[in-house]
């Protein structure tokens, strides 16, 4: 059993060797993989899980990724945009709840009014202090300001820089798949859409974020049509090669109103049952913890679609970040990247209580009021 995982200590572990681990099925061997990953998390990052309050600012998007429920061409989506006040109230909730950070996530848009508004919001969020209310500032608040992560798609380097200068210090931009051919299969590659969905542009954007100084996060979807174990192994090596600070990866969950949703189930990994897909996602997380023991690894919401305790199981396999949703209930149900989004009827308070209870039962402490950066 031991010999299965010593490969991760080698400098030059190969994609084939990693793929062999991802294919493992024996329960005892997998338990060993997960518990070793958990030990590595304890050793390098301590026992804590860190929260980032997720604010889904808008479901408007100029793109048409073939897998995504809020793709621009999906006319069934009721489009919304949170008001500035809503965003700030949700950020204040996250701060008061002790989350330490917020993630501003939304569809990709690039007109100037949008990018300027984000700059303004970043600056305003940075001014919030714990215990402030609409009636006024909290005079006794400790000087904690929220960490800000952005997840707003590809932008020009100038815009990335502007947002960084305004106070955002992390950015999430998934590569979706590091295999160019697969990336091209799951994104439109024809007509006016093509320019918006180029693999090289995505890669360049990730490099731009790194060079500006963002703590940069990326990730992939797991269980895509056409995807192979070798693709996934290469994804893990890709994260290591470019040296990311955070990874958020989760299962691909088909959305009925998307082109890829229909393609699903026809290919190698498409045949996976939900249980197998969850297990594969846990294996990816555990192997990544072995390869990059210091970084932040998210237990993503999509895991929760496959099993109610999917995220908690990810924590036991090496993940250390959870992004509780703090988005206003009135719009939460419209931000559907995939079918079956969990918790759309729970408000931010209920979400927090449930998570706290689950984590307490598992004996996992929460890193309250902390940024939880690894460097």
Name which of ligand SF4, ligand 5AD, none residue 70 binds, using a CB cut-off of 5 to 8 Å depending on partner kind.
ligand SF4
- Residue 255 binds which of ligand 5AD, ligand SF4, none (CB < 5-8 A, kind-dependent): ligand 5AD
Neighbours of 241 (CB within 10 A): 10
Contacts of 219 (CB under 8 A, 6+ apart): 172, 174, 175, 247, 248, 249, 250, 298, 300
Cβ closer to ligand 5AD: 187 or 215? Answer: 187
Asked if 239 is part of the footprint of ligand 5AD (rule: CB under 6 A), the reply reads no
Instruction: Say whether 105 sits in a helix, a strand or coil.
Output: strand
Whole-number minimum distance, CB 306 to ligand SF4, in Å? Answer: 19
Smallest distance from ligand SF4 to CB 225, Å? 16
Which residues of the shown chain bind ligand SF4 in the complex (CB under 6 A)? 61, 63, 65, 68, 70-71, 107-108, 153
d(CA 76, CA 95): 34
Question: Residue 67, interface with ligand 5AD (CB under 6 A)?
Answer: yes
Chain centroid to CA 270: 21
**Mask for 140-179, x = binds ligand 5AD (CB under 6 A):** ----------------------------------x-x---
**310 touches which of ligand 5AD, ligand SF4, none (CB within 5 to 8 A by kind)?**
none
x/- track of binding to ligand 5AD for residues 317-356 (CB under 6 A): --------------------xx------------------
Which single residue is written with the structure tokens 């061997």?
A: 29
CA distance 243 to 209: 12
Q: Report in angstroms how near the CB of residue 50 gets to ligand SF4 at its nearest.
A: 24
Cα–Cα distance measured from residue 302 to residue 272, given in angstroms and rounded to the nearest whole number: 15
287-314 burial, b at 16+ Cβ within 10 Å, e below that, comes to bbbbbbbebbbbbbbbbbbbeeebbbbb
Which residue from 66, 91, 209, 253 is in contact with ligand 5AD, where contact means CB under 6 A? 253
| Helix 229-242 with 274-291: angle, nearest 10 deg | 30
**Does position 221 bind ligand 5AD by CB under 6 A?**
yes
- Specify the length of the chain in residues: 375
φ, ψ at 113 (rounded to 5°): -60, -35
Two tokens, residue 103: 């993630």
When the beta carbons of 295 and 359 are compared against ligand 5AD, the nearer one is 295
Q: Of ligand SF4, ligand 5AD, none, which one does residue 221 interact with (CB within 5 to 8 Å by kind)? A: ligand 5AD
> Of ligand SF4, ligand 5AD, none, which one sits near residue 71, judging by CB under 5 to 8 A according to partner kind?
ligand SF4
CB of 93 to ligand SF4, least distance (A): 24
Number of residues that bind ligand 5AD (CB under 6 A): 11
Pull the structure tokens for residue 333: 């149900």
- State the pairing for strand pair 170-172/215-218: parallel
* Residue ranges in contact with ligand 5AD by CB under 6 A: 67-68, 174, 176, 221, 252-253, 255, 302, 337-338
């Amino acid at each position: 059993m031991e010999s299965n995982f010593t490969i991760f200590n080698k400098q030059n572990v190969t994609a084939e060797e990693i793929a062999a681990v991802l294919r493992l099925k024996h329960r005892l061997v997998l338990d060993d993989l997960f518990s070793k990953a958990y030990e590595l998390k304890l050793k390098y990052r301590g026992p804590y899980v860190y929260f980032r309050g997720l604010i889904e600012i808008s479901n408007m998007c100029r793109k048409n990724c073939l897998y995504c429920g809020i793709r621009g061409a999906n006319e069934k989506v009721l489009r919304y945009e949170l008001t500035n006040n809503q965003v700030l109230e949700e950020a204040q909730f996250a701060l008061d709840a002790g989350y330490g950070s917020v993630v501003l996530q939304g569809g990709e848009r690039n007109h100037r009014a949008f990018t300027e508004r984000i700059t303004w919001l970043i600056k305003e969020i940075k001014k919030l202090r714990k215990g402030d209310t609409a009636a006024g500032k909290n005079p006794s608040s400790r000087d904690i300001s929220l960490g800000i992560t952005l997840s707003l798609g590809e932008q020009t380097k100038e815009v990335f820089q502007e947002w960084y200068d305004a106070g955002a210090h992390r950015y999430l931009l998934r590569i979706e798949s590091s295999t160019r051919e697969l990336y091209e299969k799951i994104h439109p590659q024809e007509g006016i859409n093509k320019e918006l969905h180029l693999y090289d542009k995505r890669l360049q954007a990730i490099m731009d974020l790194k060079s500006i100084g963002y703590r940069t996060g990326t990730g992939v979807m797991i269980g895509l049509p056409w995807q192979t174990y070798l693709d996934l192994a290469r994804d893990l090596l890709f994260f290591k090669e470019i040296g990311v600070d955070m990874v958020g990866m989760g299962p691909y969950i088909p959305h009925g109103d998307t082109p890829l949703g229909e393609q699903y189930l026809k290919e190698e990994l498409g045949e996976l049952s939900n249980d197998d897909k969850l297990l594969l996602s846990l294996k990816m997380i555990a192997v990544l913890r072995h390869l990059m023991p210091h970084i932040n690894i998210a237990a993503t919401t999509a895991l929760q679609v496959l099993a109610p305790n999917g995220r908690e199981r990810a924590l036991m396999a090496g993940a250390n970040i959870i992004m509780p949703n703090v988005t206003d209930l009135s719009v939460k149900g419209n931000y559907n990247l995939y079918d079956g989004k969990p918790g759309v009827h729970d408000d931010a308070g209920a979400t927090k209580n449930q998570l706290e209870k689950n984590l307490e039962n598992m004996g996992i402490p929460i890193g309250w009021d902390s940024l939880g950066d690894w460097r």
